[in-house]
Structure 1
Amino acid sequence: MADQSLVFSFFLIFTGAAIVASLALYTRQPLLVAYIVLGAVLGPYGMMMVTDTQLLSEISHIGIIFLLFLLGLDMQPSHLLHMLKKATLVAIFSSLIFFALGYSVGYAFGYTQTENMIIGIAVMFSSTIIGIKLLPTTVLHHRHTGELVVGLLLLQDVIAIMVLLFLYSGSGESSTSDTMAQFSKTIAALPLIIIGAFVFVKYVLLKLIQKFDRFHEYIFLLAIGWCLGLAEIANLAGLSAEIGAFVAGVSIATSPIAQYIATSLKPLRDFFLILFFFSIGASFNLGLVGQIAVPAIILALLVLAVKPAAFRYLLSSISESPKLGWEVGFRLGQISEFSLLIAYIAAGASMIGEEASHVIQATAILTFLLSSYVVIFNFPSPIAVSDKLRRD
């Protein structure tokens, strides 16, 4: 994409986003919905005014990295560790339930055995970006609900990374021995990265911040460099960039500077997240809607019904209240951006057909939209349409 066309694409996206966001606020609709719809309208399967969705998707991924970094800044390490221990069994059993749900729907509509398994895997995970975007950063992150949501999402991310390694192996990119070596590398890398991050922050990063804290531009630059640097290290080690960014945030969460950094980076995060939701809408092939509408709608409705109920039951089994269980369940009541990646990888490796891939994509978009409505109209969130529920 030439520089001029990239600038023109940004003009269309952000001018269009400003217009549809205004309409959404007047009609009391979630902004996330407006961005996805705008992508579908302007993208290559709509008016074809923005065509390089791959580039936009790669750029927008930075928004997810910043989102996890900011989340980490609000997480006290001791609380997070306690919550991860508590939520492990819930994450494992819920993933098995959701896999069975996706597999059953695929089987009912006559997809192949491999396609059924991929659909089941795609349904296992909830959206990190939706779940965290709709959490009030100054309220729930310091309370039990927010910690529980984050703990479950992080555990799901770890499971998703393992699944992606298997998919890369199945696509012929690596042998079984290479895949096992990658697993060993990943398992060893996580604790090393965590320890290294805390040591670096204590003996280098915080000393630099204390010495030059008068220069706000330098603090801003140092925070971005630390976030993206650890994200890239985690990515090279076989983990996700999101996990690296989260560790980067947690490693400085106990410092007084953490809240200043969080406030400074929020506008940058929102810039990239607009691109993320636009690219989701723009990447969807509207021409296949007729073929995949029925299975996608049925699967989306089942996800929206089963996920909250499953989380409510499983969380009750570890002594959480039913009210909290329902809230966590509805906040995690969608499938994930990892599901989109799984669909792209599996289709590219000819493990599933285009129709099955678009069933996953359509289910993701539908559950993103519908679960956003449920949360925004019923629970505290930064973009709630009700003043009573709006919490930043």
Structure 2
Amino acid sequence: MESGSLLFSFFLIFTGAAVLATGALFTRQPLLVAYIALGAILGPFGLEVVNDTNLLNDIAHVGIIFLLFLLGLDMQPSHLAHLLKKTATVGLLSSFLFALTGYGLGLAFGLPQNESIIIGATMMFSSTIIGIKLLPTTVLHHKHTGEIMVSLLLLQDLMAIIALLLLYNLDPSHSANYSELIMAFIALPALIFTAIMLVKYLLLPLMARFDRFHEYLFLMALGWCLGFAELAHSLNLSYEIGAFIAGISIATSPIAQYIAINLKPLRDFFLVLFFFSIGASFNLDLLSHVLIPALVMTGIVIVIKPVIFGFLLRKVSEKRSTAWEVGFRLGQTSEFSILIAAFASGQNLIGEVSAHIIQATAILSLIVSSYIVVFRFESPIALSERLRRD
């Protein structure tokens, strides 16, 4: 990237986001739609004024890492374990049904079996970003609806990591080595234990000693989050899992809420870049080839995810209203779906058309589900004053 071009890209992105966000608020549209549309307009397949989307993707990924870190800060470990145990059946069974649906749709569109399997895999996941971003803070941290959503999304994140590891071992240029998958499962409890020990004997004593220096606390929180994200990645886990473990390891600390409040603006900065990168990564030249399959898949996702989640959650004794709300809030595919599509395409496991069908379905389902949520349920950007909560 040429000198100064990153600063110019930031200028275009955030100035353009401010302009489109203003228009979105006047017309009562979700802000996320403005960020994705801006990416399509300014990106390499639009006006071509922001071209280095790979760098922006890497920067934007930090937003997801901070999102999971802040999520962990507000989750008590014992309570999380109880929730995961309760929602494991719902999460696993729903993922199987979504994967089967996606596989069948791939075959129905005449795609090869291996590409249909990957399309099925991408249907399993719901968006952590949309799910958490559109939840009011009070619902996310203090109500049962938020707790159920978090436990389901975390279970899906673990399955997404497994899917990425399996895809890596299917790479023709990479000799099959499933010991890496086994190592990842061994590394997870080891990483949790390491985090707990370091918090108890290093992090909290340092923070207690220098708690008057707010800049120091801020730097320690950043280093703790990003350090564990990088450590998890080196152990064949994901950055997101490492960040979540870093957060949950200090959730019981009195400093947790202070850290959460101070990191939220930084998280939002990177999330704008994330949604911009989603829009910028889509090749508009392939739109005619992928539009019909993507519209069909989006329609099916929007319909079957609330139905299946709602049905299964009611079977584990959740209230009807809670079950349906969780279903609608998780009624989309995921940023992990886009990541899997890009990964599989880079390894020549799927063709460019299939990859863009997955991407288009993710973008469309993110947009449509956002509209459903802001029209029907409490959210920070709800279109009705009655439903707007932060």
TM-score range, shorter chain: over 0.9
Paired residues, what number?
A: 390
Q: Counterpart in 1 of 2:23?
A: 23
Query: How far apart are residue 11 of structure 1 and its match?
Result: 0.5
CA contact (8 A) 2:132 2:140 kept: no
| Equivalent-residue separation in structure 2 for 1:206 and 1:384 (angstroms) | 38
CA contact (8 A) 2:229 2:239 kept: yes
Query: How far apart are residue 321 of structure 1 and its match?
Result: 1.2
Q: Counterpart in 1 of 2:213?
A: 215
What SS does the corresponding residue of 1:138 show, helix, strand or coil? helix
Could you give the per-residue CA deviations for residues 78-118 of structure 1, whole angstroms, max 9, x where no partner exists? Answer: 21110011111111111110011111111111111111111
CA contact (8 A) 2:130 2:370 kept: yes
AA aligned to 1:256 is: P
Task: Report whether the alignment pairs 1:186 with 2:175.
Answer: no
| Equivalent-residue separation in structure 2 for 1:270 and 1:96 (angstroms) | 33
Q: Counterpart in 2 of 1:49?
A: 49
| Equivalent-residue separation in structure 1 for 2:115 and 2:10 (angstroms) | 36
Could you give the per-residue CA deviations for residues 12-55 of structure 1, whole angstroms, max 9, x where no partner exists? Answer: 00000111111111111101000000000011111111111111
Query: How far apart are residue 387 of structure 1 and its match?
Result: 2.2
Task: Report whether the alignment pairs 1:91 with 2:91.
Answer: yes
Task: Report whether the alignment pairs 1:294 with 2:292.
Answer: yes
Query: How far apart are residue 3 of structure 1 and its match?
Result: 2.9
Could you give the per-residue CA deviations for residues 103-135 of structure 1, whole angstroms, max 9, x where no partner exists? Answer: 111111111111111111111111111111112
Q: Counterpart in 2 of 1:385?
A: 383
| Equivalent-residue separation in structure 2 for 1:371 and 1:281 (angstroms) | 16
Task: Report whether the alignment pairs 1:330 with 2:328.
Answer: yes
CA contact (8 A) 2:341 2:355 kept: yes
Q: Counterpart in 1 of 2:6?
A: 6
Task: Report whether the alignment pairs 1:79 with 2:79.
Answer: yes
CA contact (8 A) 1:139 1:391 kept: no
Could you give the per-residue CA deviations for residues 251-280 of structure 1, whole angstroms, max 9, x where no partner exists? Answer: 111112111111100110000000000000
What SS does the corresponding residue of 1:28 show, helix, strand or coil? coil
Q: Counterpart in 2 of 1:203?
A: 201
- When the two chains are superposed, the root-mean-square deviation of aligned CA atoms in Å is 1.0
AA aligned to 1:32 is: L
How do 1:51-200 and structure 2 match up within 5 A? Answer: 51-176=51-176, 178=177, 180-200=178-198
What SS does the corresponding residue of 1:75 show, helix, strand or coil? coil
Task: Report whether the alignment pairs 1:316 with 2:323.
Answer: no
What SS does the corresponding residue of 2:333 show, helix, strand or coil? coil
Could you give the per-residue CA deviations for residues 136-164 of structure 1, whole angstroms, max 9, x where no partner exists? Answer: 22333222111110111111111111111
| Equivalent-residue separation in structure 2 for 1:199 and 1:132 (angstroms) | 29
Aligned residue among 357, 360, 382 for 2:358: 360
| Equivalent-residue separation in structure 1 for 2:181 and 2:170 (angstroms) | 15
CA contact (8 A) 2:94 2:309 kept: yes
Q: Counterpart in 2 of 1:33?
A: 33
What SS does the corresponding residue of 1:3 show, helix, strand or coil? coil
CA contact (8 A) 2:332 2:366 kept: yes
Query: How far apart are residue 174 of structure 1 and its match?
Result: 3.1
CA contact (8 A) 2:290 2:356 kept: yes
| Equivalent-residue separation in structure 2 for 1:58 and 1:296 (angstroms) | 26
AA aligned to 2:102 is: G
Query: How far apart are residue 360 of structure 1 and its match?
Result: 0.3
Structure 1 runs not aligned, ≥5 long: none
| Equivalent-residue separation in structure 2 for 1:335 and 1:139 (angstroms) | 22
| Equivalent-residue separation in structure 1 for 2:205 and 2:130 (angstroms) | 35
Deviating above 6 A after TM superposition, structure 1's stretches of 4 or more consecutive aligned residues are none
Query: How far apart are residue 232 of structure 1 and its match?
Result: 0.7
TM-score by length of 2: 0.98
Q: Identity over the aligned pairs, expressed in percent?
A: 62
AA aligned to 1:360 is: I
Greater mean alpha carbon deviation, residues 220-229 or residues 343-352:
343-352
Structure 2 runs not aligned, ≥5 long: none
CA contact (8 A) 1:344 1:357 kept: yes
Query: How far apart are residue 173 of structure 1 and its match?
Result: 4.4
CA contact (8 A) 1:74 1:253 kept: yes
CA 1:173/1:128 → structure 2, altered by over 3 Å: closer, same or farther?
farther
| Equivalent-residue separation in structure 2 for 1:3 and 1:27 (angstroms) | 38
Query: How far apart are residue 286 of structure 1 and its match?
Result: 0.6
| Equivalent-residue separation in structure 1 for 2:228 and 2:173 (angstroms) | 26
What SS does the corresponding residue of 1:213 show, helix, strand or coil? coil
Q: Counterpart in 2 of 1:275?
A: 273
TM-score by length of 1: 0.98
Query: How far apart are residue 171 of structure 1 and its match?
Result: 1.4
AA aligned to 1:28 is: R
What SS does the corresponding residue of 1:139 show, helix, strand or coil? helix
| Equivalent-residue separation in structure 2 for 1:310 and 1:139 (angstroms) | 22
AA aligned to 2:69 is: F
| Equivalent-residue separation in structure 1 for 2:3 and 2:90 (angstroms) | 47
| Equivalent-residue separation in structure 2 for 1:333 and 1:197 (angstroms) | 33
| Equivalent-residue separation in structure 1 for 2:160 and 2:216 (angstroms) | 35
